[in-house]
Chains A and B, each alone.
Chain A
Amino acid sequence: MRFAVRLSVLGFIFVGLFSVLGLRLWFLQVAEGPAIARATEEQTWIQKSTHALRGDIRDRNGTLLVTSQFVPAVVVDRTFVQPEQREGLVQQLSALLGIDPGELDQMYEDANVNGRFQVKTVEPQAAYLINERLDDLPGVEIVKIPERVYLTGPTLAHVIGHLGLPNAADLEENPDLPPDVRIGKIGVENVYEDYLKGTSGLQEYRVRGGEIIAQRPPVEPESGNSLELTIDLDLQEVVELALEEGIALSNSVKEAGRADGQEFFSETKNAAAVVIDPNTFEVLSISSVPDFDPQQFVTGIDEETFAQLNETRAFNNLAVSGLYPPASTFKAITYTVAEQENLPFPSDIEGVNAADRLIHCDGTLELPNLEDGSPQVKDDWYEPANIGWRDIHGALEQSCNIYFWSVALGTWQNRETVGENIIQDWAKDLGYGSATGIDLTNEVGGVVPTRELFEEWAQYQIDNPDEPPRLDRSRLEAGSPFFGGDLMDFAIGQGSFTATPLQVATSYAILANGGQVMEPRVVSRVVDTEGNLVRSVNSPVLETIPISATVRRSLLTDLGRVVTNGTARAAFEDFGEGLDRVGGKTGTGQAGSNRDDHAWFVGVAPLDDPQYIVAVVIEEGGSGGRIAAPVARHIMQYLMGNEPTPIVEGEDTD
């Protein structure tokens, strides 16, 4: 091939390459050009969002609990910093703010090329000083950013909740969330986030060479809506203090007991209480001990403090997330079912008078052979004394286990006719076994044991032998894992049965209001900045359970007998005027081996027209009559207008 021909071949290849470039250029600039031009036009505008002021939170009387204010913050905008100015800026600014230059440089690095980042909020004086020197600090701005102010400190912390930066899950759920904006993490701060947060504003401008050359009209931020809680702050303070004193009482009782050679396993640390209006299901007070100060999350909480608080369950609202056996407080429910459904009595058992519905409460119940491996003799561990023949009224007053065991035994023996799950079904209707739906975070539902559930558990246990077992191994080998003894334990609020203090309170509220089921609420209204109603958070009646007026009246009367003659008599001794108008039920929950009993009391007041249900649990606090009843009495004195008397030891009762 001649040289010239080879050159020509080369020439053709080169022409081909030029054509490819030209064609691609045509495609990019002429075919796709207009679309690309539209997209890039927006790109040259820098967008800066301005945070909105978060809405306030007030209690039911209008007392301000949480508000927001603007505080000065130092912000660096990289758009206005030339690369060669970076080092000097970092040095100067870190010296001015007293922070580590390396840390500041990392913040700078992490912001995008044209990004903004907030260095820290500063005191007004410091802001003034920096403002004076802005000419030497390229890209530095003092901006006003909203900051949350929690006026009541740790009081009501579990209801209010706290803010925090969004985590990965939050961002996945809401991809438009600016990663530097603080959102509600728990409590109403979280549940009502959409109302509280308001709408961010927007500033758009173009920058060249560190100068703003064009601006679009800014969009102003809109403040968030405010919440009005159903909580009464004064009551809340009384309740929180009473729980602390109840814990102290429990520990001093344990200490004295240990000196006498009694065995206690733990130091009492946790407690929870709920006060609810049974007519509206408005929560007047809800507390959990220990608590935390939401203000700590405003400036940023260090990991060690967080871990420490987390360890003590300070962030858990035990009133909605703590699960305890409801123990003898549940006897009021068994009572109601027995009376309303006229549950059959067991036959052919010594100490049972089925005709007159009397039980001989002598501390022991000898059972016929249930053919399922249940113990043949059940001892009342708490009322071993012989208190003679009792009807249901006297049994509730003295919290006689034998009586309510017998009711369950009668149901078990006649399960073919009355249905094995009749008591459990009532419990579920009254809200046990599933979350109540309160407008708070992390609520749990608890367990109502039934044969179906036990069979499910047994199957799961067989399928997953490596997981911790829920049922004793011997049950897996029996014909059915659910025994008659389980129903009997359930009837006195024990066994696998667990519930939250809120569930116990709402179940009593339903009994007290004649059967109306509602969702409990801690927020009553959402209002805008001018005070106009945005949303009324009222709770409709979801269902009405048929409870006859006679049964309701009889229950309320017998709850009154508990505090005048029964297990809470000693605790209510110095209640003062109107003792005959209040009532309640003690409970002492077995927590399991090597743990102390949970102390319970559920109060109802006034008995003639119930306005308050008070549920108190002192976790591993000991006897309900001794520890929890005095705490509840103190709260009920306040509710009924009496001067609350000191929380002192009551009688050691079930």
Chain B
Amino acid sequence: MTLLNRVREVAVQRRDNRSDWILFGTMLTLSGLGLLMIYSATRSSGTFSMERQMIFVAAGLIIFVLASNIDYREYRSMVPLASGVILALLVAVLFFPAIENVNRWIPLGFFNLQPAEFAKVVVIVALASLLAPRNPARDELGPRSLSWAKIGQAALLVAIPGYLILREPDLGTTLVFGFIFLTMVFVSGATWRQMVTLLTAVVLGSIAVLRLGLLSEYQILRLQALLDQDLDPQGVGYQLIQSKNAIGSGQLFGKGLLEDGTLTAFEYVPEQQTDFIFTAVGEQLGFVGGVLVLAAFAVLVWRLLVIAANARDRFGALIAVGVAAMMMFHVVVNIGMTIGIMPVTGLPLPFLSQGGSFYMSMTLSLGIVNSVWLMRTPVPGENQLT
């Protein structure tokens, strides 16, 4: 009985609010498109990859529904526990056998868990908890300032998991943390001066990382490949060339979905169903399809910012902002990589790329934000962007 009571306490008191159907609908559309694209890129070896992703989509949707129906404010007390678990997993992952030379996965038999994906959600919630005042009296959404001490704590909060993930190595995910941190600190009220100082520190830090050789050889090679795309035509350079060829040859309207004779059909783009899934969109659906996908992501990010603006407290608002930053960074870096304006960092495209941990962590984060929407102020309008 106590458990049932607890469930009742945690469950969202719906009042008159309804879920953000635009958010949900966009997510569902992108997921469906993702399945289609994964099939198109792997169809020569059957439907296995698509079927596997369908399981993850189903699990991800359940996670979304569950997360939507839990009052997000409950997470605040769970931050220490969740942080502990995720740090333990991030350490543990380094001791599991490497897959393709990187220690990113914990094999669970039926699927490989990628703790770094869930770490993004935990870090967003933890940052929101740190940056939002605990005293409800001070928790109004007006202007406020942020102390350097607070910023330092926040930096430490992202640096620890960020460093562990860099060790895997997974430079892309570490960079996501950096972007989430900067965005959330900015929205939390950092002054221009603080932002400039932080950005300078990030630039100097990046130079230091390059100079001190903290990056592995292949990461440097990928950065060089971006600058000189004829470099390493067998490896990363080849991937980039094929990626741009696939997207470019799609032209305005694309070659047609599941059309024969495409680079997608011939599997010319390495890792197409995961990191390079956007090439399948660009080649088969053309510029029009690519822009529609960009628009869908824009809608998603727009809804996240609207939810932030309508949140009942700063904690909820910061969660929505953090998730928006995460989505944005993934979209820009991933699509930018496929069209040759970003380095190859191995960041997947939300809802489209194949991958279980990543898909479920994305739906989890949107579920939490949907909970923020459901719990928003009963009298909307005051702080709305819309």
Are A7 and B301 in contact, with the CB atoms below 8 A? no
A306 at the A/B interface (Cβ < 8 Å)?
no
Check A32 against B45 for contact (C-beta < 8 Å): no
Q: Report B385 CB to chain A, min CB distance, Å.
A: 6
Q: Which of B248, B332, B336, B383 contacts A3 (CB 8 A)?
A: B383
Partner of A40, one of B249, B305, B331, B339: B249
Q: How far is the CA of A492 from the CA of B316 in the complex (A)?
A: 109
> Do residues A208 and B44 form an inter-chain contact, with CB atoms below 8 A?
yes
A18-B294, A26-B287 as given contacts; A34 in contact with B245, CB under 8 Å: no
Listed residue (A6, A14, A32) with the most chain B CB atoms within 10 angstroms of its CB: A14
Specify which chain A residues have a CB less than 8 angstroms from the CB of B248 in the assembled complex: 28-29, 32-33, 35-37, 40
Which of chain A's residues have a CB closer than 8 A to the CB of B297?
18
Within 8 A of A (CB), among B324-343: 324, 328, 331-332, 335-336, 339-341
The reply to whether A37 and B249 contact each other, CB–CB distance below 8 Å, is yes
Interchain nearest-CB distance for A209 vs B (Å):
3
Inter-chain contacts of B332 with A (CB < 8 A):
17, 20-21
CA distance A14 to B328 in the complex (A): 7
Minimum CB distance partner of B191 in chain A: A1
CA distance A53 to B382 in the complex (A): 86
Which residues of chain B come closer than 8 Å to A4, judged between CB atoms?
A: 141, 309, 383, 385
In the complex, A2 Cα to B141 Cα: how many Å?
A: 7
Report if A25-B339 is in contact (Cβ < 8 Å); known contacts: A4-B141, A33-B252, A34-B251: yes
* Inter-subunit contact A11/B302 (CB<8 Å): yes
Q: Which residues of B are found within 8 Å of A8, using beta-carbon distances?
A: 385
| Contact B282–A3 (Cβ < 8 Å) | no
Chain A window 302-326, contacts with chain B (Cβ cutoff 8 Å), 1 for yes, 0 for no: 0000000000000000000000000
Q: How far is the CA of A29 from the CA of B244 in the complex (A)?
A: 9
Known pairs A10-B183, A14-B328, A22-B294; A28 contacts B309 (CB<8 A):
no
Q: Which of A15, A34, A37 lies at the interface centre, i.e. has the most chain B CB atoms within 10 A of its CB?
A: A37
* A112 closest partner in B (C-beta): B234
- Given A21-B332, A40-B249, answer yes or no on A6-B294 (Cβ-Cβ < 8 Å): no
User: Chain A nearest CB: distance from B181 CB in Å?
Assistant: 14
Give bound CA distance, A9 to B244, whole Å: 32
A49 CB → nearest B CB, Å: 20
A266 close to B (CB within 8 Å): no
Please encode chain B, from 251 to 270, with 1 for each CB lying within 8 Å of some chain A CB and 0 for all others.
11000000011110110100
Interface contact B341-A24, CB-CB below 8 Å: yes
Bound complex: CA A637 to CA B130 (Å): 111
Q: Secondary structure at chain B's binding surface: helix, strand, loop or mixed?
A: helix
Residue B66 at the chain A interface, CB threshold 8 Å: no
User: Do A3 and B141 touch across chains, with their CB atoms under 8 A apart?
Assistant: yes
Asked if B151 lies at the interface with its beta carbon under 8 angstroms from chain A, I say no
Q: Is the CB of B263 within 8 A of A43?
A: yes
Asked whether A206 is an interface residue with its Cβ less than 8 Å from the other chain, the reply is yes
Beyond A10-B187, A213-B260, is A40–B245 a contact (Cβ under 8 Å)?
yes
Cβ A7 vs Cβ B251 within 8 A: no
A-side contacts of B287, CB under 8 Å: 25-26, 29-30, 33
Does A44 make an interface contact (CB < 8 A)?
A: yes
A542 at the interface (CB under 8 A from B): no
- Whether A6 and B249, one on each chain, are in contact in the complex, defined by CB atoms closer than 8 angstroms, is no
Bound form: Cα–Cα A7–B186 in Å: 9
Contact mask A474-517 → B, CB, 8 Å, 1/0?
A: 00000000000000000000000000000000000000000000
B267 CB to nearest chain A CB (Å): 8
Hey, which chain B residues are within 8 Å of A30, CB to CB? 251-252, 287
Q: Are B44 and A29 in contact (CB under 8 A)?
A: no
Q: Complex: how many Å from CA A33 to CA B336? A: 17
Shortest beta-carbon distance from A111 to chain B in Å? 12
Number of A-B contacts (CB under 8 A): 137
- In-complex Cβ contact of A208 among B266, B298, B301, B309 (8 A): B266
> B183, B249, B341 — which one has the most chain A CB atoms within 10 A of its CB?
B249
Q: Which residues of A contact B268 (CB under 8 A)?
A: 43-44
Whole-angstrom distance between the Cβ of A177 and the nearest chain B Cβ: 20
A24 to B305, CA, bound (A): 25
Task: Kindly list chain A residues whose C-beta atoms are within 8 Å of the C-beta of B340.
Answer: 24, 28
Given contacts A7-B305, A7-B385, A10-B305, whether A29 and B186 have CB atoms under 8 Å apart is no
Residues of B near A24 (CB, < 8 A) are 336, 339-341
In A38-57, the 8 Å CB interface with B consists of: 39-41, 43-44
Contact residues in B for A43 (Cβ distance below 8 Å): 245, 263, 268
Question: Does A82 lie at the interface of the complex (its beta carbon under 8 Å from any beta carbon of B)?
Answer: yes
**Is B35 close to A, CB under 8 A?**
no
- The answer to whether A6 and B385 touch (CB under 8 A), given A33-B251, A44-B266, A82-B45, is no
Check B245 against A36 for contact (C-beta < 8 Å): yes
B286 close to A (CB within 8 Å): yes
Q: Does B308 contact A (CB under 8 A)?
A: yes
Q: How far is the CA of A64 from the CA of B270 in the complex (A)?
A: 53
Is there contact, CB below 8 Å, between A6 and B189? yes
Q: B249 contacts which of A7, A11, A36 (Cβ < 8 Å)?
A: A36
A454 to B: closest C-beta gap in Å: 53
Which A312-371 residues have C-beta < 8 A from chain B?
none
Distance to closest chain B CB from A298 (angstroms): 32
Return A592 CB to nearest CB of chain B, in Å.
Answer: 55
Tell me the nearest residue of chain B to A35, going by C-beta: B248
Q: Who on chain B is nearest to A25 by CB?
A: B290
The smallest beta-carbon distance between A240 and chain B, in angstroms, is 50
Q: Is B282 in contact with A29, judged by CB distance below 8 angstroms?
A: yes
Could you say which residues of chain B place their CB within 8 Å of the CB of A41? Answer: 249, 261
Q: Complex formed: what's the CA distance from A81 to B141 in Å?
A: 62
* Cα–Cα, bound, A213→B261 (Å): 9
Cα-based distance from A206 to B263 in the complex (angstroms)? 11
What's the Cα separation between A3 and B305 when bound, in Å?
11
Q: Is B142 an interface residue (CB 8 A)?
A: yes
Instruction: State in angstroms the CA–CA spacing of A24 and B246 once bound together.
Output: 14
Q: When A29-B248, A33-B248 are in contact, do A7 and B308 touch as well, CB less than 8 Å? A: yes
What's the minimum C-beta distance from B235 to chain A, rounded to whole angstroms? 12
**A30: min CB distance to chain B, Å:** 5
B344 within 8 A of A: no
Chain B contacts of A33 at CB under 8 A? 248-252, 287
- Residues of chain B in range 258-308 having any CB-CB distance to chain A below 8 Å: 260-263, 265-266, 268, 282, 286-287, 290-291, 294, 297-298, 301-302, 305, 308
- Given the known inter-chain contacts A3-B317, A21-B335, please indicate yes or no for A10 contacting B251, CB distance below 8 A: no
Which one, A25, A36, A40, contacts B291 given CB within 8 A?
A25
Contacts A11-B305, A44-B266, A214-B261 known; 10 new A-B pairs at CB < 8 A: A2-B142, A3-B189, A3-B309, A4-B141, A10-B183, A21-B335, A29-B282, A30-B287, A41-B249, A213-B260
14 contacts between A and B (CB under 8 A): A3-B143, A7-B309, A11-B385, A15-B298, A17-B332, A21-B294, A25-B291, A25-B294, A25-B339, A28-B244, A36-B249, A37-B250, A40-B246, A208-B265
Closest 9 pairs between A and B when the two form their complex, measured CB to CB: A36-B248, A209-B44, A33-B251, A37-B249, A29-B287, A40-B249, A3-B141, A40-B245, A28-B248
**Chain B interface (Cβ within 8 Å of chain A)?**
44-45, 141-143, 183, 186-187, 189, 244-252, 260-263, 265-266, 268, 282, 286-287, 290-291, 294, 297-298, 301-302, 305, 308-309, 314, 317, 321, 324, 328, 331-332, 335-336, 339-341, 383, 385
